[in-house]
Amino acid sequence: MDMGDAPGWLGAGLGLAAFVVSLRSVKHSKRAADAAEGSAVAAEQSVVETRRSSDAAERSATAAEETLADQRREAAERRRQEEEDNRPRAQFRIEHRNKAVWELINYGTAPAENIRCLDAPGARDEWPPSLSVAAGDVYSFMMVGSMQEAVPSVLRIVWEGQDEPVLLRVPPRVG
């Protein structure tokens, strides 16, 4: 070998070294590209999962708002019902006193104004047009049966604020 060949061999060795380094560089570049691609896929999956999570959180928040609104409506309805249940009101019953005399008794907690009886006008005496019975008070009236018209077994009454007739059982005569 002559001295003139040494630079050629040196060049060939350096070329071979450069080739090996280049192959390794391509291998590392491919790994980096694969890793970057995997990272991009993972990032995309993360975005998808984040969207799903966000959608689920939004649905959950909407459901919670609806539930809260329902609970508020139910609580308001309960309060209205309790107020209605505790509201003073007139309540009546009829009791037989003696012979042809019966009593209309208001055992409720409120007075009743303008009480009207819708039944048996011939069998009972006429009630005054503006009959009022305070809470705990009694109104005595007479009912007399006849062959044409017996004492009714039920009287229907209405009063101011109570337009739907209330049916009151008329107890049988005692004595």
Residue 1 has pLDDT above 60, yes or no: no
Give 122 or 61, the one with higher predicted confidence.
Answer: 61
pLDDT computed for residue 120 by the predictor: 67
Tens digit of each residue's pLDDT (9 = 90 or more) over 45-82: 888 888 888 888 888 889 888 898 899 999 999 999 99
**124-149: average pLDDT:** 87
Residue 42 has pLDDT above 60, yes or no: yes
Laid out side by side, the sheet with 138-142 consists of: 92-98, 101-106, 138-142
User: What is d(CA 157, CA 121) in angstroms, rounded to the nearest whole number?
Assistant: 12
Give 122 or 169, the one with higher predicted confidence.
Answer: 169
Q: Best-predicted range by mean pLDDT among 12-21, 35-44, 79-88, 156-165?
A: 156-165
- With cut-offs at 50, 70 and 90, classify the pLDDT of residue 4: low
Q: Is the pTM for the entire model greater than 0.85?
A: no
pLDDT computed for residue 11 by the predictor: 78
User: What is d(CA 161, CA 90) in angstroms, rounded to the nearest whole number?
Assistant: 10
pLDDT computed for residue 175 by the predictor: 62
pLDDT computed for residue 122 by the predictor: 65
pLDDT computed for residue 2 by the predictor: 65
For residues 90 and 108, is the Cβ–Cβ distance under 8 A? yes
3-class SS string, the chain: CCCCHHHHHHHHHHHHHHHHHHHHHHHHHHHHHHHHHHHHHHHHHHHHHHHHHHHHHHHHHHHHHHHHHHHHHHHHHHHHHHHHHHCCCCCEEEEEEECCEEEEEECCCCCEEEEEECCCCCCECCCCCCEEECCCCEEEEEECCCCCCCCCCEEEEEECCEEEEEEEECCCCCC
